[in-house]
Amino acid sequence: MMRDLSQPCALAVLVSGNGSNLQVIIDRIESGELNARIACVISNNPDAYALTRAQAHAIPTIVHEISGFTGRREYDAALVKILQGFGVELVVLAGFMRILSDVMVSAFPDAIMNIHPALLPAFPGLHAQQQALDYGVKFSGCTVHFVDCGTDTGPIILQAVVPVNQDDTEAALSARIQAEEHRTFPQAIRLFVEGKIHVDGRLVRIQS
Ligand code: GRF
């Protein structure tokens, strides 16, 4: 169903850690560049600094821990209820360190976005920057993609490339990639919010 483009898009941002991507999204909304509102920030980690960032902007926060659930699908079913309760239209995974099951993916078809710190399909999963260094690639970057039931396998929306330098450390490469994440992620969210993304199987077409 087409969303009402005149209304701010209701986002949920799911986090586990620092939340620098969350911060950029908040900033873009507050500057008026993104016609959206963050309905809630949800973390599986009660100590995530991202929660403090959200609270500083009076955004509702929820800690949704895995303990108490018998498995991923049960955890996700509870998550879906929370998200539906907030009327969420787009789920943004910004450093959320959990794999989603079919329960979440089928509840939000083509409406869950993730940012990954590599040029997918290279180096999916954890420690993508270190994987890139170990492999010896000369370029890496970041990928914004829709989420399916695999690990970092969903349709690709946007990518940005950064060079890998000879003497790079994981920290140096990660910082260079993060600068591109902070540019690319809000751009992809903006395309969604403006109704400019069309998904055709694996292919994502962007209306100019
Ligand atoms: C980013 O590097 C992102 O690519 C990965 O998790 C990290 C989150 O960083 N999925 P932050 O919490 O937004 O600062």
**pLDDT score at 6:** 87
Question: Residue 93 has which token pair?
Answer: 């995974």
Q: Establish how many alpha carbons lie within 13 A of residue 88's alpha carbon, considering only the half-sphere containing its beta carbon.
A: 28
Q: Tell me whether residue 116 is one of the annotated catalytic residues.
A: yes
**pLDDT score at 1:** 58
Q: Establish how many alpha carbons lie within 13 A of residue 15's alpha carbon, considering only the half-sphere containing its beta carbon.
A: 27
Three-state SS sequence of 54-91: HHCCCCCEEECCCCCCCCHHHHHHHHHHHHHHCCCCEE
Q: What is the dihedral of CA 162, 31, 43, 62, to 10 degrees?
A: -170
Question: Residue 50 has which token pair?
Answer: 């991202």
Which residue's alpha carbon is nearest to atom 2 within ligand 1? Answer: 117
**pLDDT score at 37:** 98
Strands in 112-116's sheet, in edge-to-edge order, are: 61-63, 36-43, 9-15, 90-93, 112-116, 139-146, 156-163
Residues with CB under 6 A from ligand 1: 17-21, 50, 94-95, 115-117, 178, 181
Q: What is the dihedral of CA 158, 35, 2, 62, to 10 degrees?
A: 90
Write the CA distances from 19 to 16, 48, 120, 173, integer angstroms.
Answer: 8, 8, 22, 18
d(CA 15, CA 13): 6
Q: What is the dihedral of CA 107, 68, 95, 196, to 10 degrees?
A: 10
- Atom of ligand 1 lying closest to residue 116 CA: 4
**pLDDT score at 5:** 86
What spacing in Å lies between the alpha carbon of 69 and ligand 1's midpoint? 25
What spacing in Å lies between the alpha carbon of 6 and ligand 1's midpoint? 30
Mutating to test ligand 1, I would choose from 115, 176, 180 the residue with most ligand atoms within 8 A of its C-beta, which is: 115
pTM of the model: 0.97
Cβ–Cβ contacts within 10 Å for residue 103, how many?
17
What spacing in Å lies between the alpha carbon of 175 and ligand 1's midpoint? 10
Question: Residue 184 has which token pair?
Answer: 């690319």
From first to last of the 208 residues of the chain, give the pLDDT tens digit.
567 888 999 999 999 999 999 999 999 999 999 999 999 999 999 999 999 999 999 999 999 999 989 999 999 999 999 999 999 999 999 999 999 999 999 999 999 999 999 999 999 999 999 999 999 999 999 999 999 999 999 999 999 999 999 999 999 999 999 999 999 999 999 999 999 999 999 999 999 9
Q: Using DSSP bridges, classify how beta strands 90-93 and 9-15 pair: parallel, antiparallel or unpaired.
A: parallel
**pLDDT score at 181:** 98
